[in-house]
Chain A
Amino acid sequence: MAAGRLIVPPAVEPSHEGVDPNVSPNSSQANSSREGEPVLRVRNVSKRFGAVTALDGVSIDFHIGETVGVVGDNGAGKSTLLKVMTGVHRPDGGSLEVEGKEVTFDAPGVARANGIEAVYQDLALVDDMNVAENMFLGREIRAGGIGRTLGIVNRKAMRRQAADAIANLRVPIPHIDETLVRRMSGGQRQGVAIARSIMWGRKVLLLDEPTAALGVKQQDEVERMIQELRGKSLAMMIIAHNMPLVFRLTDRIIVLRHGRVVAALATAETSPEEVVTYITGAKTPVSAAS
């Protein structure tokens, strides 16, 4: 039984080093090449909080098999962009498209139903619950028959699947049974949040500063987890400040400044120095489209 659950997904090539970043590594699949239809399209999105304009006409396309890095100064609008993409915030202007169809993420869970998952900067874990409960929060496996109507949850099945997901990602959590997330280290908590997003994210994975606030060893752990996801049939967005990390993990880099896209660069064709000049505003926009 366990063997059946751990099958390697088909048609996914995990290694794609040296591949042109503009060409998707698994272009054998329909809809997955860079020229094909984006799985998620952010179009001219704006978001204001009172007098603050957090996002100002942001457009980015996300393609399966590609990892996009989003960088920018504090307050540039990175987290707001992510939250618009998951429906936490409604944009004031612009639109979102999933596989060519315009969508409105007006209720919590709509983005998730579209296969979009996020690891928020604050992780959005319930400290008072255990790993399995957090990973299945809002999507609990119910018991069968009348138990389903009564809202009875199948704790055993959830624990087993959560344990598998944690093991697959090699999150260093010794035993996940009843331990509350509160009792876990920063790296373990990050691992739980990432494992949750991977377990459910069918199309798009959004990570907000996944290695900030972690020790060096834990940063390496998390980076390894992300590295293993690259090239799978997913679109990824990683928000990060750590330039070497961004350059190791992404295919494209988007620079946000004061809520606008000021640069969209192929990772292989730019340098940390150039990206930093855009972040600080020393260099002005040339190619503000994605």
Chain B
Amino acid sequence: MSDASKIGEPNDLHAAGKGRPDSASAKSEPVVRAVWAQLRRLHLLIIPLVCFMIAFSLMHDRFLTSVNLLNVARAASVTTIIGVGMTFLITSRNLDLSVGSMLGLIMAVAGTAMKWYGVPVPIAILMALAAGALLGVINGFVVTALKVPALLATLGTLVAYRGILNQYMYGETASRMPDSIVFLGQGMVGPVPVPVIVAAIAVVAGMLVYRFTVFGRYAVAIGGNEEAAKRAGINVNFWKVVFFTVQGMLCGVAAIVYLGQLNATHPSIGTGLELHIIAGTILGGTLLFGGYGSIGGMALGMYLIDVLENGLVLAGAGFFVQQIFLGILLIAAVAAQLAQRRRRDVE
């Protein structure tokens, strides 16, 4: 580093020998503060999660069994996988409402490819990823090239992708997927369901990407101050397209898992899922206004939602009650963030 005058490296032309080498020594304190900051963002979530779990276990002795908790994790795996992409998108101050339609459309593409046209499983998986990438690129193109705000752009593709799906399937279903697909959705490795493993891999990869790669850092920069990112030479539009593309590809991964879980596909699958995904992401602490995202929080958020749904089911409540709760949860999460932001602005 003593020879740092290469182009593209910071110069130390102006380092004038009066440095204070002790400046970076206080190491542990910021780490503690960073952890505390994380917890402060998550407490919103952990408290209700624990409360609900206690309440449900009192109401129903089957709730707090490891089998049931793993069942909940299995149910949350599809939303968690998609939530990884949503966390990056919302961090970059974007949004994707078309995830439910993408999930359904990709499941139709991969499912019918295997069942109607005899496409081998590995090819079908590649097709799912490619289809997801294509749908994501379209979203990114509409947002960057046509300059339609992400909310409206993906509201448009939510409808359009669902339309393509309905046009293609015409109410038909494809069922009884190949064994390897069913394994991805329903199999077990020891006591752990395979979809939970897939989701865990997505979450861990997402956490690493968020913290240690330019992909994650640029999501923060673009969401935090897009103009500053531009002036720093970051190709903002390129990265936005990348974020949407990754979201599409993660929908592809989730589609394969869900195809195995349901062992079938149907044109209405994924309808309304976007609210579930966004609610879980926001609950996890990811800021709706961009600049901060938490993959781990998102995973907890998705789990919380399914704990709720599971508990409600065990308590005998139906789907409509679940919808009411999901709506309230989303509003509460957003309201809490707005309150937090007002507090911060006052500071």
A interface list, Cβ under 8 A from B: 1-2, 4-9, 14, 86, 88, 107-109, 112-113, 120, 122, 124-129, 133, 136-140, 142, 150-153, 155, 159-161, 163-168, 170, 173-179, 198-202, 228-229, 232-233
Contact A174 B291 (CB under 8 A): no
B11 within 8 A of A: yes
Q: Which of B7, B24, B33 has the most CB of A within 10 A?
A: B24
Contact A109 B233 (CB under 8 A): yes
0/1 per residue, B82-116, Cβ < 8 Å to A? 00000000000000000000000000000000000
- A160 contact set on B, CB distance < 8 A: 24
The segment from B45-53, B135-143, B222-230 found at the interface with A is: B222-230
B26 within 8 A of A: yes
CA distance A142 to B227 in the complex (A): 23
User: Are A128 and B33 also in contact (CB < 8 A) when A6-B12, A6-B17, A160-B24 are?
Assistant: no
B190 within 8 A of A: no
B213 within 8 A of A: yes
Task: List 30 A–B pairs whose Cβ atoms lie within 8 Å, in order of A's numbering.
Answer: A5-B19, A6-B16, A6-B18, A7-B15, A7-B17, A9-B13, A112-B233, A120-B231, A126-B221, A127-B291, A139-B232, A139-B233, A151-B213, A151-B214, A153-B213, A155-B212, A160-B24, A163-B23, A165-B10, A165-B15, A168-B14, A168-B18, A170-B20, A175-B29, A176-B23, A177-B26, A199-B10, A202-B13, A232-B14, A233-B13
Contact B24 A175 (CB under 8 A): yes
When the two chains form the complex, which single residue of B11, B26, B29, B225 contacts A127, counting CB atoms closer than 8 Å? B225
When the two chains form the complex, which single residue of A1, A124, A200, A228 contacts B231, counting CB atoms closer than 8 Å? A124
- B7 contact set on A, CB distance < 8 A: 113
- A168 contact set on B, CB distance < 8 A: 14-16, 18-19
B8 within 8 A of A: yes
Contact B19 A175 (CB under 8 A): no
User: Are A128 and B292 also in contact (CB < 8 A) when A159-B24, A228-B16 are?
Assistant: yes
- A201 contact set on B, CB distance < 8 A: 11
B148 within 8 A of A: no
Give chain A nearest CB distance to B330 CB in angstroms: 23
B69 within 8 A of A: no
- B224 contact set on A, CB distance < 8 A: 126-129
B342 within 8 A of A: no
B interface list, Cβ under 8 A from A: 1-2, 4, 7-8, 10-21, 23-27, 29-31, 33-34, 212-215, 217, 220-221, 223-225, 227-235, 291-292
Contact A124 B11 (CB under 8 A): no
Give chain A nearest CB distance to B342 CB in angstroms: 15
Give chain B nearest CB distance to A162 CB in angstroms: 9
Given A124-B227, A168-B15, A175-B24, list of 7 further CB < 8 A pairs?
A9-B16, A127-B291, A128-B224, A138-B229, A161-B10, A177-B30, A229-B14
- B11 contact set on A, CB distance < 8 A: 199-202
Give chain A nearest CB distance to B87 CB in angstroms: 14
User: Are A152 and B213 also in contact (CB < 8 A) when A127-B224, A177-B24 are?
Assistant: yes
Contact A9 B232 (CB under 8 A): no
Contact A137 B26 (CB under 8 A): no
- A8 contact set on B, CB distance < 8 A: 16-17
- A136 contact set on B, CB distance < 8 A: 10
Closest A residue to B26 by beta carbon equals A175
Contact B8 A152 (CB under 8 A): no
- B27 contact set on A, CB distance < 8 A: 175, 177
Q: Which of B13, B214, B220 has the most CB of A within 10 A?
A: B13
